[in-house]
Structures are given as C-alpha cells and as structure tokens.
A and B are shown apart, each in its own frame.
Chain A
Amino acid sequence: MTSANDLRPRPGEKLVFDVNPVLNERVTHYCPGCHHGIAHRLVSEVLHELGVAHKTILVASVGCATFTYDYFNVDSVEAPHGRACAVATGVRRARPEAVVFTYQGDGDMAAIGTGESLHAANRGEKITAVFINNTVYGMTGGQMAPTTLVGQKTTTTIHGRNFSNEGGPIRLTEIMAQLQGVAYAARCSLDSVKHVKEAKKAVRRAFDVQLAGLGFGFVELLSGCPTNWHMTPTAANKRIATDMIPVFPLGVFKDVGAAEANAVKEPGNA
C-alpha cells in the first residue's frame, strides 16, 4: 500500500502534477483502474477554481462512493442509500448561501433513489448531482445495476441481463433533461484524456448553474469498474468506448444557461 508520503517528490525528482487543496492526500480505497479517482479530481478542481470549497457541503451517498468525504476537504453529511438528493434539499433550504453537491452511483441515484433524485431535480433545487455510471454494483460485489447493459453478465444476471426479465439500462441524463427544474444535464465519459477534459467542462457547468441560481445541475460520468467487469483497466476503458457509449450517448442534453446566453428565454424555464 502506498502512503501519502510516498507521493511526495524525493530529492532530484521534479513535481509536475500536484494534489489540489480541495482533495486531501489520503490514498483512496478505490480499486486499481477505478474512475472514481478521476471523478473526485475533476470535482475538486472545479471547486478549487470556483473558490467555493470553504462554503461547500458534500452529501455523500451509499455504494463505492460512501467514503467520498474521506477525500474532500469540505464539510460533509452522510445520506441513507438513495436519499442524497433529499438530504441535499434539506441542506440547501437550511443554508441558502452554501454550495451543495451530491456524489452518487448508479444504484444510489437511478434505482433506490430515483424518486428523491427526480423530484429534487424537478423542484429545481439549486444543487449539483454528480452521477457515476459504471453499469454495475461495485460495493456489494458486482450485482446488476439499473444501468447494466442488456447481455452484460453480473453476479445477479449470470447469463447476461435479459431485457424480457430485467428490462433495459436507464438513461438518466435524458430523463433529467426533460424536467423543467433541471438547468444543466450532460453525459460524459472518463475513458480517455479527450473525454476527461470534456467531463471537466461539464462538471464546471453543472456547478455554474447552481451558483447562478438557474436550477439543478446534473452530470453523468461513464466510468470503468475493472474489478467487477473482470477486466484490466485498459480493457475496461475500451469497453466504455465500444459498449457503453453506443447505449449512453455523450453530450450536453440541456443547458439553460447557454440558452439564456443566446437571449432566447423559453417560457417556464426559470
């Protein structure tokens, strides 16, 4: 196990990439090749650039991301499984001046917490939700997620997800984009440098709309889970490109702020 000290430059080494102050130096519990680390990094960079970490409140979820709060240098509260958007609603209403975000996996946000998530979004809660979609339940050991692809083998779909029995993968970003309270909805991927750069912009927009008071900011990040996909990290990255993106198309599905910038104000899009 690497310790934080091992990451410091030794004599003769030159530091070319450093932690940012919003993310602490604790070594994460995530598996090798997992994309949670990249997602954390993106969120922390955005909070740092916006200069809002001191007034940010993280609402943590349940799943692999349960311990998100161990890595972010912000005030945090734990939510029961699926309830992060409801907890974030309470936080937002109690602290109108704070920056509030949830960080949730596909089980948390698109299965057990669908109701809380959609209704917080529909109310236009001024919060940001970061949604990690890796098509599988990681923490509990590789069971089917609501986003599992048809045909994908998991520990509860051992012959592959069968549409006639389990239905198909939920496309949450498209659903979110339909809701009036959502100011920004985008789907990005963490499988390549190019996609990661795009993801950073999307995370930034998802916070921008909150800070501008425009409504609910939502960003879905397609992520790899080499452990439960039984793949190497590079194979996992490849699977995102070949299998996931065709089912979960990337793009910005809604950006009320951009629409406003074009001076076209749709009635109802407050």
Chain B
Amino acid sequence: MSRKQMPKRILVKGNEALAYGAVDAGLQCYFAYPITPQNEVPEMLSALLPEHGGAFVQAESEVGAVNMLLGAGACGVLAMTSSSSCGISLMQEGISYMAGSHIPGVIVNMSRGGPGLGDIGPSQGDYFQAVKGGGHGDHRNLVLAPSTAQECYDFMFMAFALAFAYRNPVMILGDAIVGQIKEPIRRTAPEGASTPEHLRSLVQDLRIEGYGARGENAPPRLLKSVYLAEGALAQRNRLLQQKYAAMRKDARYAGEELDDAELVVVAFGSIGRITSSAIRGLRKEGRKIGLFRPITLYPFPGEALRIHARGRRILVIEQNIGQMVEDVRLAVGGCDVAWHGIMPGLFIGANELVEPILQALKG
C-alpha cells in the first residue's frame, strides 16, 4: 500500500471520539447512567472531565441524568448526557421540559435494537423518536447523525453550537457500529468552531445564575414551561414553531456522486457509509448511482434532496421497518421512492446492498 503524509491521527472508538469532542468543545457538566453500547462515553468522561475542571455525575437513572442536564443547561453551561434507546425513552419527559423552557443541552443516543430491551446490535429504529420530538407536546430536537469516528468528534462542536444558538436540546443519533467502530481521528476543532465563551454568551440573557450577577436590584429570572393564562401557551408554541422554522437553514447532508446519478440512494449514519461502499463498487461497473446522506435528521434536508431527486429514481435504505422513508416521500412529493429495510440487530456488509440497489436502478 502507498504511504501518504498526514497530520497526526489517533485510533479511537466512535464513543471515545464523542468524549474527546465534547471535552474539546468545552463541555462543563456531564450526567449519565451506564448502558451498552455507549459505556465508553461515561467511562472516559469520568476521568477526562474533572481533569478539565468540569463536573461528572453518574446519575441514579436516565430520569435523574436528563433532569441534571436540565438544571445545568438552565444555568447556561455546556452540558450533556448520553445513553442508548431504552434510556432515551426514559429521558423524554425531561427533553420535553427543556424544549418548552428554551434550555440548551446535548443528548447522545448510541441506539440499540428494539423494541423493549432488544439487543445491543446496530439499529436505526429510534429515528421517529429522535426527529419527531419524542416527548409530549409539540417540540423538536435538532438531530445529528454521525457515520464515522471523526464525525462523532466534529459533531459534538456542531451540537453545542446549535444547542446554544437555538436554546434547544440537540440529539446525536448513532448506533452500535458508529459507537464501537475504531478508526483514526484528528483531535482538532473543526474550522469555524465557536469557543465555549461565545456559546455561553448566546444565552446570557436567559440563564439562571442568582440575580446578583446582573445587579443589586435586578429582577429575578425564571425558566419554565408551564403557561396557564389564557392564550399564553398558544403564544409559547408559536414562538417554538418560529424557532423550528428558523432551524431549516441548518439542514445538512453529504452527497457522493450525485451529479450524473440515475439513482439517488438516501441513507444515514452507519448504513449511510455501508451504502457508500456498495455504490463505489457499482460505480466501477459503470452504474450511475449517487448517495444522499442526511447529516441533520431534523431539520431534514428535504429541499436539497428535492433538487437532487428531480428526474431520478430514489431508494431509501435504513435499518428499521420504514421511518426515514416517510420524510423522504414528503420531501420529494410525486417522485417514486423505493425502500429497502434491514431488520434491527443485523450486521450487514456492503455486498448485501448491491442487489436492492440494482433492483431500484432498474425500477
């Protein structure tokens, strides 16, 4: 194999990359309850975070963890929790309260197969829960879907930037492959990354700190989600919806070989990268296939997809029984959308995707 000159890289798991990314992005408080397959995150942060002057608490439950996140987020510090599917279900109450109270925070879901206790294999079965809000009431989380260890690292910076820009919970949705894969990363902040000081300044008018921080007779502040007066909750919801509408400009995706593609395959996360391998193999045989890999699952990059999908066949591949395909169909309107599902818990290779891709290419 040929040698290439590259900057220094370290070989780490996706979960470890998340922990490094969080600390390098300026994480101050981390709260979590252990669950496989994301235990490297709390294990690493239990050592790393105190070294960086932050606070680490192993919570009594995911319910405890998310509410600690709520408390720290309300104080305007960079805080996060991490868990996996079952634990994320338990957190939904707190996530809804955070959304309703304009509280920033990052929640990592290195998901497992479900429903119920399921297994610890790869799955994308939490897509709906992540992008539809997941908790009660009309709320949304920004959702980022890394597919490599480097993206795990880089997306922590993006997650905090979005959480503080919108004062909203941000979820990073991965799976057992993304969390357990070991690959090289460069541990340097992505270009344009904000400093933690800047992020904190974005919420300085909406954080609790003790009124004395704002002056001797400053009025007290309150962060809450309850609005009982007539019309008050309607107004609150209008405000939230304006925020969600504004998020659309932050929709992101990665495209591969889309320019001349006759078939556009839409896939995210670990399935996105496995699909990429399959497409590369088929390209060598002269098949005109491209990959559209959403990076933000909410906001869904529907407008970009609509442009790329025009006049092409579309295939959605995901490891669940049909979730993202609904967002794709909404985005592309009248186009025909084929779908290939992989049952949760299975480990699949790129060659298992060749047949369904060729099928969709033929139409």
Q: Do A and B contact each other directly (Cβ–Cβ < 8 Å)?
A: yes
How many chain B residues sit at the interface, stated as a range, is 35 or more
Rounded to whole angstroms, the CA-CA distance of A74 and B67 in the bound complex is 20
B:74-115 near A, CB below 8 Å:
74-77, 79, 93-94, 97, 101
Q: Is the CB of A95 within 8 A of B75?
A: yes
Interface segment, one of A37-45, A53-61, A200-208, A245-253: A53-61
**Contact B210–A89 (Cβ < 8 Å):** no
Contacting residues, chain A, for B222 (C-beta < 8 A): 69, 75-78
Is B220 located at the chain interface by the 8 A CB criterion?
yes
B282 within 8 A of A: no
Measured between alpha carbons, how far is A89 from B72 in the docked complex, in Å? 8
By the criterion CB–CB under 8 Å, are A80 and B61 in contact? no
Are A90 and B68 in touch, CB under 8 angstroms? Answer: yes
Please report the C-alpha to C-alpha distance between residue A73 and residue B97 in the assembled complex, in whole angstroms.
23
With both chains docked as a complex, state the minimum distance between the C-beta of A182 and any C-beta of chain B, in angstroms. Answer: 15
Q: Which residues of A contact B94 (CB under 8 A)?
A: 80, 83
Give the interface residue-count category, chain A.
35 or more
Is A115 interfacial (CB-CB < 8 Å)?
yes
Looking at the complex, which of B160-168, B182-190, B223-231, B306-314 is the stretch in contact with chain A?
B223-231
Bound together, the chains give a CA A72 to CA B73 distance in angstroms of 21
Give A92 to B67 CA distance when docked, in angstroms.
12
Note all chain A residues with C-beta closer than 8 A to B335. Answer: none
**A86 touching B63, Cβ below 8 Å:** yes
Q: Chain A interface (Cβ within 8 Å of chain B)?
A: 53-57, 59-60, 66, 69, 72-80, 83, 86-95, 98-99, 115-116, 118-119, 123
Give the A-B contact count at a CB cut-off of 8 A: 140
| Contact residue among B57, B77, B93, B223 (Cβ-Cβ distance under 8 Å from A89) | B57
Taking CB atoms, residues of chain A closer than 8 Å to B59 are 86, 119
Q: Does B337 contact A (CB under 8 A)?
A: no
- Residues in A neighbouring B68, C-beta threshold 8 A: 86-87, 89-90, 93
- Can you list 10 contacts pairing A with B, beta carbon distance less than 8 Å? A57-B75, A73-B220, A75-B220, A78-B97, A87-B70, A87-B71, A87-B74, A90-B73, A94-B55, A116-B60
Residue B64 lies at the interface, judged by CB distance under 8 Å to chain A: yes
Contact of B71 among A55, A69, A88, A118 (CB under 8 A): A88
* Cβ-defined contact, B208 with A116, below 8 A: no
B157 at the interface (CB under 8 A from A): no
Apart from A57-B209, A94-B71: 13 A-B pairs, beta carbons within 8 A: A54-B211, A54-B212, A55-B213, A60-B224, A76-B222, A76-B223, A77-B208, A78-B97, A80-B97, A83-B94, A89-B71, A90-B67, A94-B29
Interchain nearest-CB distance for B56 vs A (Å)? 9
Across the interface, which residues of B come within 8 angstroms of A80, CB to CB?
A: 67, 70, 93-94, 97
Given contacts A69-B224, A123-B57, contact A90 B211 (CB under 8 A): no
Q: Give, as a whole number of angstroms, the nearest-CB distance from A90 to chain B.
A: 3
* Docked complex Cα distance between A94 and B94 (Å): 17
Contact A93 B63 (CB under 8 A): no
Establish whether residues A94 and B28, one from each chain, have CB atoms under 8 Å apart when the complex forms.
yes
Contact of B79 among A72, A76, A79, A90 (CB under 8 A): A90
B283 at interface by CB-CB < 8 Å: no
Distance between Cα atoms of A141 and B226 in the complex (Å) = 19
Say whether, besides A78-B225, A86-B68, A95-B209, A115 and B60 are in contact (CB < 8 Å). Answer: yes
Closest to B103 in A: A77
Contacts of A87 in B (CB 8 A): 67-68, 70-71, 74
